[in-house]
Amino acid sequence: MSKFDRNLGLRQLRNAFGTFLTGVTVVTCREESGIPRGFTANSFTSVSLHPPRLLICVDKTAESFDVFTQSKGFAVNILAETQIEISGLFASKRADKFDIADWSESENGNPILEGVCAWFDCKCDPVIDVGDHIILIGRIESYDYNGNMGLGYVRGGYLSLGLEQSAVEAVGGDADVIVGAIVEYDGKVLLIENAVTGELHVPASGLDGTSGSLGKLQNYLTQLGIGISLSVLFAVFENEKTGQQSIYYRAKADSDLVGNKFWSFDEIPWQRIGSDAIKIMLQRYIDESKRQRYGIYFGSDRDGAVETLR
């Protein structure tokens, strides 16, 4: 059991809170002048069915803090699992968020994002001041929902339950599988050298003939001194010759302490990468990184389709 020490425990307390799997929302409203505002939040919960109430917590240091505390209403948009890029957009300080995102206006004038799982249009009850946050209680005026799967968030990374299930169904329960990740740090990707052949490959578990897993992958990277935060699926494909299945994720490294293993996009020695499928996957990753619009590939090592994340 850990006792809280304010000088040492804030990071650890945040990590402890982060073990709780939440959904991801974008909370929106309008300034008095009519300008739309919004931010990404996972501190959302239902409060009451009768009368219908929900709450959202807002950090007092948030750029839009004053706007939301003075607003007469707000909307909560629950993001679908394909909306990771929308989550990142509204977590940023970009001024053109509402120029990039597709949205419409609720009856109360609050922005409702396209493609979300559900939305709630609310009037504000009195604001509650608690510590370093305030609590907005919303009186639900109208709402809607659909059959889309929601976007999850846990331990600093996104979780897409429907897409994860698709990957499991694609590889089959008894199949040997390679589980790997494209690990990036500051515009560089991690490539591991095969000690025998000298070829480079993306870090993965299951390359030794045993069945891979996320746990094995993370243990392998820990042994290399690399900590990662997994993002979301990037590719699921089958080797047409061997029948072996591969699942690859996107991930961010905590640092590049093993800097000689990280390669900038324009310095990757493509001739040293032995697998054509991995070359194609890396090239797609680089292209999508430049556009900041990612997708998930489903198919074989020769042919398939990319499902775009909105």
The pLDDT confidence band at residue 265, using thresholds 50, 70 and 90, is: very high
Q: Residue 131: pLDDT above 90?
A: no
Q: Residue 286: pLDDT above 90?
A: yes
Torsion angles phi and psi, residue 175, rounded to 5 = -85, 145
Q: Residue 310: pLDDT above 60?
A: no
Whether omega for the bond prior to residue 51 falls within 30 degrees of 0, making it cis, is yes
Residue owning tokens 């069945």: 211
The pLDDT confidence band at residue 175, using thresholds 50, 70 and 90, is: low
CB-facing half-sphere around the CA of 186: CA atoms within 13 A: 6
The fold for domain 161-308 equals Nucleoside Triphosphate Pyrophosphohydrolase (3.90.79)
Residues 277-287 have a mean pLDDT of: 94
Buried-exposed string 256-291: b where 16+ CB fall within 10 A, e elsewhere? beeeebbbebeebeeeebebebbeebbebbbebbee
The pLDDT confidence band at residue 161, using thresholds 50, 70 and 90, is: low
Least Cα distance to 61 among 134, 146, 161 occurs for 134
Q: Residue 278: pLDDT above 80?
A: yes
The fold for domain 6-152 equals Pnp Oxidase; Chain A (2.30.110)
pLDDT at 113: 97
Domain range summary for the chain, segments of one domain joined by +: 6-152, 161-308
Per residue in 41-96, pLDDT (tens digit) is 988 999 999 999 999 999 888 888 888 888 899 999 999 988 888 888 898 888 89
Note whether 6-152 and 161-308 share their fold: no
Q: Give the single-character DSSP code of 33.
A: T
